[in-house]
Structure 1
Amino acid sequence: MGIGSTQIIALLLTGVGVGFASGLLGVGGCFIMVPVQFWALTSIGVDPTIAIRIAFGTNLAVVLPTAISGAFGHHRKKAVLWKTGIILGTSGLFGAFIGGIFAARLPGSILKIGFGLAILAGAIRMLTAKPPQIEREPIDNKLAYVLWGLPLGIVSGIIGIGGGVLMIPVMVLALRFKMHQAVGTSTALMIFASAGGILSYLFNGINVAGLPPYSIGYVNLLQWILLAGTSVPMAQVGARAAHKIPAKQLKYIFITVMIYMGLKMIGVFSWMNLPI
């Protein structure tokens, strides 16, 4: 049940794309990583339910160093509101730990569809929301940050994501962040949310039967090395690129990628027999 050269190459290339997307869009790259990880595991005979949990747990382990790298890049551009990111992230950490406990007990098919639906919902909300007519300052309310951070952390833990893909729409639409601020600050909160999720997936996957080699709980160290080794340096490249793209274009790039990966994880393309 060892991983082959085809899977290794696919994971290395995925890491490059994930790192760039993380820095560019302020997301953990879950919508890129999870489908590839799931394929790599099931193609070597790992049970689909175990495979999706490992994909989620390992994804979070990749998000942590990638988010640190991306946050540093955005900080240099003064696009990280650290107080907001730390409060959202800390409440998200607790939520993600709780979410990971739920994920360890839910069927793989539900996790996979739930992952796709969550991403699609965020994309549609960003696409349909009307921007404010006047430029307003971001909401500065610690309680609001906690009330948003905790449930989003729980969802992040259940579907194995760093939280940026869900939190950015909340920051832009509910908390009135500018797009570049939302992207930058989301990298900071992902540091905390991913840490909570990692702990939960490690703890809940200990001694589970059917894990592939090099796994600690629901975190696979081989996949982690392949993905993190390429994604961390690429996050710096993505962060620099983000500040050269106008906010409106950055938003539509974000939405397009979200819609594609959401439909892919739900299985829409498979039902239509489309090889994408």
Structure 2
Amino acid sequence: MSSFITLFSVDSILLLLFLGAVVGIVAGLFGVGGGLVIVPVLIWSLPLLGVEEGLSVHMAVGTSLATIVFTSIAAVRAHHRRGAVVWRYFLALTPGILLGAWLGGMIAGGLEGESLRRLFALFLLIVAFRMFREAPLETRYGLVSRWQNSGVGLGIGAISALVGIGGGTLTVPYLNGGGVEVRRAVATSSACGLPIALAGTLSFVWVGWGAAGLPAGSSGYVYWPVVLIIVVTSTLLAPAGASLAHRLSPYWLKRIFALFLLFVSIRLLFS
């Protein structure tokens, strides 16, 4: 593999550092795992780094999942120290999640880049409208059925890997609706993000292996130099975003982020 310096120009490295900083601040500010931000940012920026247009969407999703492997480990450790992770629900969901995330990567590999981009944009639209709606969740069902948890885990894993996210927008509502207190639901969702990211990353490596036009430093649809820079810079700057979040109104934070997602989804749909 070529050395890191020969892979990118100085301008490209500065661009990646800036992108990682943006991801870290936004993730800390709005409390998201990063995939909702990383994927659209990479879709637009990877061509500037020399990645072919036809590969940029798949590489954005695969690379996003690889970054979540590392960021989720840090998040899970923090939540576990506070005793917030409900491990029995994590274990109940994980088998379905692993299979679903692998299948999600396989499905993504069979889609054209344009189709995958529009699918991600539609997912962002749904998330944005749900955030605007802000309907409080109430306990509506139990989480005792093994088959129910396996089936839901399969769906969460498949959708999350397909669009390159850690699954929090899907896992938290499911756990909370099943009676898990919201902070513990968030912590358990962070733990579930690790098997999603691991299986999804491996799937995107597998399905993209040997694809024509892959840049140096990549394994399948995962671009490791980009993963490295985003993980380092976003980890360093996420606390700054979190600090800023504590000074702002949660009500307006949620709506600002929903507007951001709405803007991004429209750009992805019609650009």
Both structures adopt the same fold (TM-score exceeding 0.5): yes
Runs (4+) off by over 4 Å: 20-26, 135-138, 233-254
For residue 221 of structure 1, report the CA deviation from its aligned partner.
1.3
Q: Which residue of 1 aligns with 2:178?
A: 175
1:96 positional shift? 0.9
1:219–1:159 CA distance, 2 compared to 1 (3 A): same
CA contact (8 A) 1:138 1:176 kept: yes
* Counterparts of residues 193-204 of structure 1 (less than 5 Å): 193-204=196-207
RMSD of Structure 2 on Structure 1 (CA) = 3.1
**Aligned pairs (5 A) from 1:19-98:** 19-22=24-27, 27-98=32-103
The offset of 1:239, in angstroms, is 6.9
Deviations 1:222-256 (A, max 9, x none): 10111111233445666788789887666546544
Q: Is the 8 A contact 2:97 2:195 kept in 1?
A: yes
TM-score normalized by the length of structure 1: 0.80
- Range 11-20 or range 207-216, more displaced: 11-20
Q: Give the superposition deviation at 1:97.
A: 0.5
Whichever residue aligns with residue 68 of structure 2, its letter is: V
- SS of residue paired to 1:43: helix
Match of 2:144 among 129, 141, 153: 141
2:191 counterpart of 1:165:
no
Tell me by how many angstroms 1:129 deviates: 5.4
Q: Which of 257-266 and 148-157 deviates more?
A: 257-266
Is residue 2:107 matched to residue 1:102? yes
The CA deviation string for residues 100-158 of structure 1, in whole angstroms up to 9 with x for no partner, is 111111000110110111122133234335325xx759843343332222112111222
CA distance in 2, matches of 1:90, 1:237: 35
Counterpart of 2:3? none
- Count of aligned positions: 265
Displacement of 1:72 in angstroms is 1.9
For residue 156 of structure 2, what is the aligned residue in structure 1? 152
- Judged with a 3 Å threshold, the aligned counterparts in structure 2 of structure 1 residues 86 and 250 are, in CA distance, closer, same or farther, namely farther
Q: 1:116 aligns with which of 112, 118, 121?
A: 121
Instruction: Report the Cα distance in structure 2 between the residues aligned to 1:147 and 1:34, rounded to whole angstroms.
Output: 26
Deviations 1:20-58 (A, max 9, x none): 554565533112111222223212443223111111111
CA shift, 1:68, in A, is: 1.0
Work out the CA distance in 2 between the residues paired with 1:16 and 1:81. 31
Distance 1:139 1:126 in 2: 24
Q: Name whichever of 91-100 and 117-126 sits farther off.
A: 117-126
Which amino acid in 1 is paired with 2:191? Answer: A
CA contact 2:12–2:49 (8 Å) conserved in 1: no
Q: 1:36 & 1:74 partners in 2: Cα distance? A: 28
TM-score in terms of structure 2 length: 0.82
In the alignment, does 2:139 pair up with 1:128?
A: no
Gap change, CA 1:15 and 1:45, over 3 Å in 2:
closer
The alpha-carbon deviation at position 2 of structure 1 amounts to 4.8
Secondary structure of the structure 2 residue equivalent to 1:79: coil
2:225 corresponds to: 222
Q: CA 1:25–1:164 in structure 2 vs 1: closer, same or farther (change >3 Å)?
A: farther
* The one of 13, 23, 37 aligned to 1:18: 23
Alpha-carbon contact 2:205-2:222 (below 8 Å) kept: yes
2:139–2:178 CA contact under 8 A, matched in 1: no
